[in-house]
Amino acid sequence: MKAHQANRFASILLWIGAIAILALLVAFLTLILGRGLPYLTAEFFSGSDGVRGQLFNSFYILFLSLIFSLPIGLGAGIYMAEYAPQNRFTDLIRLSTESLASVPSIVFGLFGMIVFVNMFGLGFTILGGSATLALLNLPILVRVTEESLRAVPRSYREASLALGATMWQTLRKVILPTALPGLITGITLVAGRALGETAILIFTAGMNVSRILFDVNPLAAGETLAVHLFAVKSNPLPGTNSDQIADGTAALLILMVIVFNICLSLPSRWLQYRLQGKHRG
């Protein structure tokens, strides 16, 4: 009965592996939240070393990068899903999207530095940072758009086109609304990734915070929360409570990730429910 013993043994090992993975995550979360949550007070945000500027910059840069990448990413995704014929040109675009997705973020950072900091001579700016961050978002947006549009049943398109609608009308009135839950999930995914990105922003948005609170000037330097955590942890300034700031910032970042992960599942489920209800009615 050697085979059965091996079977038992392997099953136990696989269970142990799975439990180890889960335990690792639980350990991560308890460690980070346990160390950081006590520091998340009003003082942490608005005190003299407060991070409200970084928090604002994180969302401001995220917002701008989505403005840059959403139209292009959605457009390219729509083209790949609805228009693209099976030929070399399409294959080339698919290859370049996949390549773009595999580019290490530090390479994006250096590219953004060549273009925005040096060629355009802007220096470290929120504008340059968010435009470079948009490049990171692009391939994921293209893929997610393509996948959600492909999940729309063929019959929807055929019905709309047969009624005499143009392709654009079909897209706007039938395909995009049906694919909306998938698109929103994808955009949330992109946003979560962009919020935690560091390597790109060090080289393009810099490591300074504007002295003006909630500075919306896109040509100012803008340190984000993630960059701030890197700065205080790798070059702690003497005489500051940098360890506490790092603990608090890490906990804040993790809280943001958890909220985004919840957002990832909730609205798409709700939308799906609502849309399905509508179709039936």
Partner 1 sequence: MPQPTKSWVYYNDRLARYLFISSAVLVSLIILCIIWFVGMQGLSTFREVSFLEFFTSSKWSPDSGQYGALTFIAGSIGTTLIAILLGGPLGLAGAVFLAEIAPPWVRAIMRPATDLFAGIPSVVYGYVGITVIVGFTRKITNSSTGYGMLAAGIVLAIMILPTVISLSEDALRSLPGSYKEASLALGATRWQTIWRILVPAASPGILTAIILAMARAIGETMAVQMVIGNSPRFPDSLGSPTSTLTSNIVMEMGNTPYGSTWNNGLFMMAFILLVIALIMIILVRTASRKGAVR
The pair of three-digit structure tokens given for residue 203, joined into one six-digit string: 């080289």
Shortest distance, position 82 Cβ to partner 1, whole Å: 8
Q: Are 203 and 135 in contact (CB under 8 A)?
A: no
Neighbours of 244 (CB within 10 A): 16
Residue with Cβ nearer partner 1 (240 or 277): 240
Shortest distance, position 75 Cβ to partner 1, whole Å: 3
Residue with Cβ nearer partner 1 (212 or 259): 259
The pair of three-digit structure tokens given for residue 278, joined into one six-digit string: 């509508």
Shortest distance, position 195 Cβ to partner 1, whole Å: 7
Distance of alpha carbon 88 from alpha carbon 93, whole angstroms: 9
Residue with Cβ nearer partner 1 (15 or 280): 15
Residue with Cβ nearer partner 1 (106 or 212): 106
CA 57 to chain centroid, in Å, comes to 15
Neighbours of 55 (CB within 10 A): 18
Q: Are 225 and 197 in contact (CB under 8 A)?
A: no
Residue with Cβ nearer partner 1 (64 or 245): 245
Residue with Cβ nearer partner 1 (198 or 210): 198
Shortest distance, position 281 Cβ to partner 1, whole Å: 28
Shortest distance, position 1 Cβ to partner 1, whole Å: 10
Distance of alpha carbon 42 from alpha carbon 52, whole angstroms: 10
Shortest distance, position 13 Cβ to partner 1, whole Å: 7
3-state secondary structure 245-261: HHHHHHHHHHHHHHHHH
Residue with Cβ nearer partner 1 (20 or 219): 20
Shortest distance, position 20 Cβ to partner 1, whole Å: 7
Question: CA quadruple 12, 17, 20, 22: dihedral positive or negative?
Answer: negative
Distance of alpha carbon 178 from alpha carbon 172, whole angstroms: 10
Q: Are 63 and 69 in contact (CB under 8 A)?
A: no
Distance of alpha carbon 229 from alpha carbon 104, whole angstroms: 20
